Chain A
Amino acid sequence: GENVEQHPSTLSVQEGDSAVIKCTYSDSASNYFPWYKQELGKRPQLIIDIRSNVGEKKDQRIAVTLNKTAKHFSLHITETQPEDSAVYFCAAILSGTYKYIFGTGTRLKVLA
């Protein structure tokens, strides 16, 4: 079955710097890769996603890149702000299925 690895588990950056979180997946049939942000005690919320037919997607300060050959995808946050501090989860889903396989999460701390 699909397996998703996520690194790093914790990440501290200075306000204004960039943050990069990386995930690798095992099943080449996976075709949808969402990223969720979870603040303490709150629900996971989708912040950006990418499908396997594109290599990059950007939404203001957030971007996701996908390398299908290497089977990895990354979340890039530029000009980080204290409110970006949260746990970020990547996920992968196999084509035609519904089962999200989540990474183990990255705790991002943006230092003011």
Chain B
Amino acid sequence: NAGVMQNPRHLVRRRGQEARLRCSPMKGHSHVYWYRQLPEEGLKFMVYLQKENIIDESGMPKERFSAEFPKEGPSILRIQQVVRGDSAAYFCASSPGLAYEQFFGPGTRLTVL
């Protein structure tokens, strides 16, 4: 059973470009969570999704950020018009349901030049 997959592992964008981060949950997991980790800091919850539904996006900035988890394919975190402050590691995690352990992917390290 492959673990949580994320790609790309490293992403470099110039200010104003778009960043698309992908997350494939573990097999059998229908719950996906995105977290952001700034350098030398802890992980901050961004958004929680189930297939085709955003359940809680309270940790996600209102502008420029969006997330989806379509019926088929990976979950996508999209950041439009990136700024330097978006540079961080973005981790996704998945679980088979609520109140279960969350398994983390390897992260995508976004660098905005």
Contact = CB atoms under 8 A, between A and B. Distances in A.
Contacts of A99: 45, 48, 56, 59
Interface in B72-112: 91, 95, 98-99, 101-107
A25 to B, nearest CB: 14
Contacts, number: 52
Contacts of A43: 4, 91, 104-107
Given A96-B99, A98-B33, A104 B104 contact: no
Contacts of A69: none
A78 to B, nearest CB: 24
B43 interface: yes
A42 B104 CA distance: 10
Nearest to B92: A43
B44 interface: yes
A106 to B, nearest CB: 10
Interface in A31-61: 32, 34, 36, 42-46, 49
A104 B40 CA distance: 9
A87 B58 CA distance: 26
Instruction: With a 10 A CB-CB cut-off, give which of A42, A93, A100, A103 has the most chain B CB atoms.
Output: A100
25 contacts: A36-B104, A43-B91, A43-B104, A43-B105, A43-B106, A44-B91, A45-B104, A46-B103, A89-B42, A97-B98, A98-B31, A98-B48, A98-B55, A98-B56, A98-B95, A98-B98, A98-B99, A99-B45, A99-B48, A99-B59, A101-B45, A102-B35, A102-B43, A103-B42, A105-B42
